[in-house]
Amino acid sequence: MAGTIVADTIQDGAGNSTAMDNAIYGSAKAWGNFNGSNSPGTRVTYNMSSFTRISQGQYSVAFTNALSDANYTTLISTSGDQDSSFGSSAFTPNLYRSGSTLTAPTTTGFYFLINWNGSGSADPTYISIAVFR
């Protein structure tokens, strides 16, 4: 059964409430946890239909349901055992997809690059992504 709920606020059983704008605009529109190895694996996702390794450190994510526009924010964190001086940066969404070709984010997904300690790209054991709009 389909339907519509119209409300100004939402409240839990303990009486904590928030404006509906916070529930609609403050929640992640997509999120996921992935293994970034040569054979990437998906651990858990919401609204992400695919996670693809293009080459070392380069990935693409596709949304199950398109977002309203491409002006979203992505948060990406990584961890793994690549080296003892671990530190990585994830660059997204206007990132290198192939060579020096920049690919802009779209309503259906984005590309990103993992840079390991400034010494080149790498495939971390854990990649966590959250998308907000």
Q: What is the largest CA-CA distance in the chain?
A: 54
**Mean pLDDT for the stretch of residues 69-89:** 71
Please check whether residue 9 lies inside any domain of the structure: no
With left for phi above 0 and alpha for psi between -120 and 50, is residue 58 left, alpha or beta?
Answer: beta
Q: Is the pLDDT of residue 12 over 60?
A: yes
pLDDT of residue 66: 96
Strand partners, 95: 103
Read off the pLDDT band of 29 (50, 70, 90): very high
* Residue range(s) defining the domain that contains residue 122: 31-132
Cβ within 8 Å of residue 6, ≥6 positions away: none
Read off the pLDDT band of 99 (50, 70, 90): low
Question: What is the rounded CA–CA span in Å between residue 97 and residue 82?
Answer: 22
**Mean pLDDT for the stretch of residues 112-124:** 75
Please check whether residue 7 lies inside any domain of the structure: no
Please check whether residue 86 lies inside any domain of the structure: yes
Task: Please give the tally of structural domains in the chain.
Answer: 1
pLDDT of residue 31: 95
Please check whether residue 41 lies inside any domain of the structure: yes
Please check whether residue 127 lies inside any domain of the structure: yes
Please check whether residue 12 lies inside any domain of the structure: no
Q: Which two structure tokens, joined as six digits, stand for 31? A: 């999120």
Q: Is the pLDDT of residue 36 over 60?
A: yes
Element (H, E) at 114: strand 109-116
pLDDT of residue 30: 95
Please check whether residue 103 lies inside any domain of the structure: yes
With CA atoms as reference, report the closest residue to 120 among 92, 91, 77, 79: 91
Percent share of the chain, pLDDT over 90: 26
Question: What is the rounded CA–CA span in Å between residue 80 and residue 57?
Answer: 13
Question: What is the rounded CA–CA span in Å between residue 112 and residue 60?
Answer: 6
pLDDT of residue 84: 44
Question: What is the rounded CA–CA span in Å between residue 110 and residue 97?
Answer: 10
Q: Helix or strand or coil: residue 25?
A: helix
Q: Is the pLDDT of residue 85 over 60?
A: no
pLDDT tens by residue, 50-74 = 999 988 888 889 999 999 999 998 9
Please check whether residue 1 lies inside any domain of the structure: no
How high does pLDDT run on average in the chain? 80
